[in-house]
């Protein structure tokens, strides 16, 4: 066994990871030497610090000329690999600074005879010599340009005194595989599809943060590219930025060398990704280009008309109206079926399809967020051709002011659902009969059935009819954490449902928030002036029906959070009858996995 590679499970893992490494290496050496490196790279790399398992697409024990690496799914980095050679200039040697063409390098590490030294980029400890030293600078390089790598090293000489060693290395980058001209820094990531479902125009959000010294205006300079898996070329990707922020740095005088004092700039990014099933895509974010102009996102099928309260938002799948007083969803309009269009999905009682969060106290009266007129706060975080995000928040209106609530809607281009995030926080003592969220209410003539997917995997369906007497208006109750639930019209083949990605109830003081009979409650109100059919997701619910249970005190600090999506959809014939909401459930529960390189 090669002594450089550990045995047992660790060695198996190193070798397995190495087998997955796709190679995108460019060198001044001969093609025969490159082929040898590729073969050796299949073994993987041990890490001397015991921190990370490396799978470099080259053999760091056999680097005889400057090499240039482009991002791949297995190794998503731009790197310049430099053979330093033999080291005989002292103990406690390490690299303290690296520049590439005069530009400071933020990330670099060292191999010594094929073993990685990541922490502090150290070369020697007690020994004064080291064999076959290789310096790796993670830096954006450009095709065909001359490259000068300068390294500053510190060491302890034979006389016991510290000394500084300067080294310089020159090479020329290959004619392809480099980054875009004019941009000097990058960050990279891989999107992995693991659910076996091909993704098309899936919304992906991420943030970029950079030292202020390494960018002028991050939001203006930033660009996004996808790496072509076959050619290695960079393909521009349409993106939208929002939430640009700055950190001014810690005031001067901090004595601790490890204090994170560097001023920084950050920005959030959203784009639409397409990745084949069980595959991956490599993406590169570039910045640090003083001459770059602002890159406005290109038009998509997402349009927003009107003010945030009362806006009409639509894309090729749906059209959604927001109420001009409370900002809640008034109605869903499905697109894409001209021969049998679905009716407007709403109700004619409150004119709000989305009723809550809501709460009911011992005064015998409800507070609903649909009664805001207006909310205390309305904040638009993003308003562009890829994402429109609006948050309404404030005290619960009308009869339960002890409760504070917020509702956030996120609308994306080319996406058949609306993401919804709600929070409900009890800020003052509340004698509760109900705390609920996730309620969609439709006129009863629009609905024939309730349908949901069981956690065990089967799909259940029941008729949306009321109970046997006036005391029991439930159709049934359903577990609060089923994958999805919907109201459908099984004759006209349409529906609207909810997919809950995650939910949490907590109290920052006591650890657990009050909960009671958490479930989905499926209702038909058959004796109101306007018959309504709806489902609602309860956290606290002694109320439950007209045989009302006793009051339950809820302590201040009790907080209830839901991350979900509303999904209007068409029904299809055959085994894939509920395929559209099933697909949305898979996409929302198993989004593309982000794996960041640097």
Report the candidate in 86, 185, 73 with the shortest Cα–Cα distance to residue 134: 86
Q: What is the pLDDT at residue 331?
A: 98
Please provide the DSSP assignment of 382-429 as one string.
EESSSEEEEEEEEEPPTT-TTEEEEEEEEEETT-SSEEEEEEEEE-S-
Q: What is the pLDDT at residue 364?
A: 87
Q: Answer for the pair 425, 338: CB distance below 8 angstroms, yes or no.
A: no
Q: What is the pLDDT at residue 545?
A: 60
β-pair partners for 437? 537
Position with higher pLDDT, 9 vs 59: 59
Residue-wise pLDDT tens digits, 346-392: 999 888 999 999 999 999 899 999 999 999 999 999 999 999 999 99
Whether residue 75 has pLDDT greater than 60: yes
SS3 (DSSP) at 34? helix
Whether residue 466 has pLDDT greater than 70: no
CA distance 220 to 17: 38
- Mean of pLDDT values over 430-443: 96
CA distance 490 to 560: 33
CA distance 463 to 403: 35
Q: What is the pLDDT at residue 46?
A: 46
Q: What is the pLDDT at residue 23?
A: 38
Position with higher pLDDT, 130 vs 465: 130
Report the candidate in 467, 458, 441, 457 with the shortest Cα–Cα distance to residue 531: 441
CA dist list (Å): 333 to 202, 322, 336, 354: 21, 12, 10, 14
Task: Report the phi/psi class of residue 310: left, alpha or beta, with left for phi > 0 and alpha for psi in -120 to 50.
Answer: left
Q: What is the pLDDT at residue 263?
A: 87
- Mean of pLDDT values over 554-581: 97
Confidence of residue 21 (pLDDT cuts 50, 70, 90): very low
SS3 (DSSP) at 523? strand
Whether residue 470 has pLDDT greater than 70: no
- Mean of pLDDT values over 75-96: 96
Residue-wise pLDDT tens digits, 278-316: 999 999 999 999 999 999 999 999 999 999 999 999 999
Q: What is the pLDDT at residue 52?
A: 47
DSSP 516: B
**Burial (Cβ within 10 Å: 0-12, 13-18, ≥19) of residue 101:** middle
Q: What is the pLDDT at residue 33?
A: 41
Q: What is the pLDDT at residue 597?
A: 83
SS3 (DSSP) at 446? helix
Q: What is the pLDDT at residue 230?
A: 84
In residues, how long is the chain?
598
Whether residue 402 has pLDDT greater than 70: yes
Position with higher pLDDT, 255 vs 462: 462
Confidence of residue 5 (pLDDT cuts 50, 70, 90): very low
- Mean of pLDDT values over 252-280: 85
Residue-wise pLDDT tens digits, 149-168: 999 999 999 899 999 999 99
Report the candidate in 290, 266, 252, 257 with the shortest Cα–Cα distance to residue 212: 266
- Mean of pLDDT values over 409-434: 97
Q: Hunting for tokens 């400057």 — which residue is that?
A: 66
Residue-wise pLDDT tens digits, 31-64: 344 344 333 433 444 444 443 456 789 999 999 9
- Mean of pLDDT values over 170-177: 96
Q: What is the pLDDT at residue 556?
A: 96
SS3 (DSSP) at 176? coil
Percent residues over pLDDT 90 in the chain: 77
SS3 (DSSP) at 461? strand
Residue-wise pLDDT tens digits, 475-515: 789 999 999 999 999 999 999 999 999 999 999 999 999 99
Q: What is the pLDDT at residue 43?
A: 43
Q: Answer for the pair 101, 112: CB distance below 8 angstroms, yes or no.
A: no
Residue-wise pLDDT tens digits, 191-206: 999 999 999 999 999 9
Report the candidate in 399, 308, 319 with the shortest Cα–Cα distance to residue 353: 319
Whether residue 18 has pLDDT greater than 60: no
């Amino acid at each position: 066994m090669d002594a450089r590679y550990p045995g047992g499970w660790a060695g198996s893992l190193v070798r397995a990871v190495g087998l997955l490494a796709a190679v995108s290496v460019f060198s001044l050496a001969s093609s025969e030497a490159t082929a040898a490196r590729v073969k050796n790279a299949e073994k993987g790399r041990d890490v001397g610090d015991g921190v990370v398992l490396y799978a470099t697409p080259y053999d760091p024990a056999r680097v005889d000329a400057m090499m240039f690496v482009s991002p791949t799914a297995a190794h998503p980095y731009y790197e310049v690999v430099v053979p330093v050679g033999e080291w005989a200039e002292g103990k406690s040697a390490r690299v303290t600074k690296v520049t590439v063409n005069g530009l400071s390098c933020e990330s670099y590490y060292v191999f010594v005879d094929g073993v990685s030294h990541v922490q502090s980029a150290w070369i020697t400890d007690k020994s004064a010599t080291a064999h076959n030293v290789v310096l790796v600078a993670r830096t954006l390089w450009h095709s065909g340009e001359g490259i000068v790598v300068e390294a500053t090293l510190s060491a302890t000489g034979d006389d016991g005194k510290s000394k500084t060693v300067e080294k310089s290395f020159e090479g020329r980058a290959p004619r392809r595989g480099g980054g875009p001209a004019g941009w000097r820094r990058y960050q990279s990531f891989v999107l992995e599809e693991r659910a076996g479902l091909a993704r098309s125009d899936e919304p992906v959000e991420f943030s970029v943060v950079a030292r202020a010294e390494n960018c002028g205006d991050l939001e203006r300079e930033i660009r996004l590219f996808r790496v072509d898996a076959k050619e290695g070329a960079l393909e521009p990707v349409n993106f939208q930025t929002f939430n640009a922020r700055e950190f001014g740095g810690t005031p001067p005088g901090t004595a601790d060398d490890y204090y994170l004092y560097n001023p920084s700039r950050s920005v959030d990014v959203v784009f639409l990704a397409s990745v084949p099933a069980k595959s991956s895509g490599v993406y590169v974010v570039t910045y640090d280009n003083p001459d770059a102009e602002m890159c406005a996102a290109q038009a998509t099928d997402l349009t927003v008309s009107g003010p945030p309260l009362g806006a009409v938002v639509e894309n090729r799948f749906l059209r959604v109206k927001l109420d001009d007083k409370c900002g809640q969803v008034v109605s869903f309009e499905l697109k894409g079926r001209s021969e049998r269009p679905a009716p407007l999905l709403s109700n004619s009682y409150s004119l709000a399809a989305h009723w809550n969060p809501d709460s009911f106290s011992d005064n015998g009266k409800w507070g609903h967020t649909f009664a805001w007129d207006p909310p205390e706060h309305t904040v638009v975080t993003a308003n562009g051709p890829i994402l429109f995000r609006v948050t309404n928040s404030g005290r619960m209106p009308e009869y339960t002011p002890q409760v504070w609530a917020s509702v956030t809607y996120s609308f994306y281009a080319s996406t058949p659902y609306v993401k919804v995030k709600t929070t409900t926080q009890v800020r003052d003592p509340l004698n509760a009969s109900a705390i609920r969220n996730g309620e969609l209410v439709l006129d009863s003539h629009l609905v024939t059935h309730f349908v949901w997917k069981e956690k065990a995997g089967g799909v259940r369906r029941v008729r949306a009819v009321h109970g046997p007497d006036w005391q029991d208006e439930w159709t049934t109750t359903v577990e609060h954490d089923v994958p999805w639930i919907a109201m459908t019209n099984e004759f006209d083949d349409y529906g609207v449902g909810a997919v809950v990605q995650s939910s949490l109830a907590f109290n920052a003081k006591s650890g657990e928030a009050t909960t009671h009979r958490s479930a989905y409650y499926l209702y038909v109100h058959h004796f109101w002036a306007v018959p309504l059919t709806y489902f609602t997701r309860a956290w606290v619910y002694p109320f439950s029906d007209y045989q009302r249970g006793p009051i339950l005190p809820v302590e201040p600090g009790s907080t209830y959070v839901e991350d979900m999506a509303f999904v209007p959809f068409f029904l299809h014939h055959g085994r894939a009858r509920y395929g559209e909401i099933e697909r949305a459930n898979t996409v929302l529960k198993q989004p593309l996995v982000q794996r960041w390189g640097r």
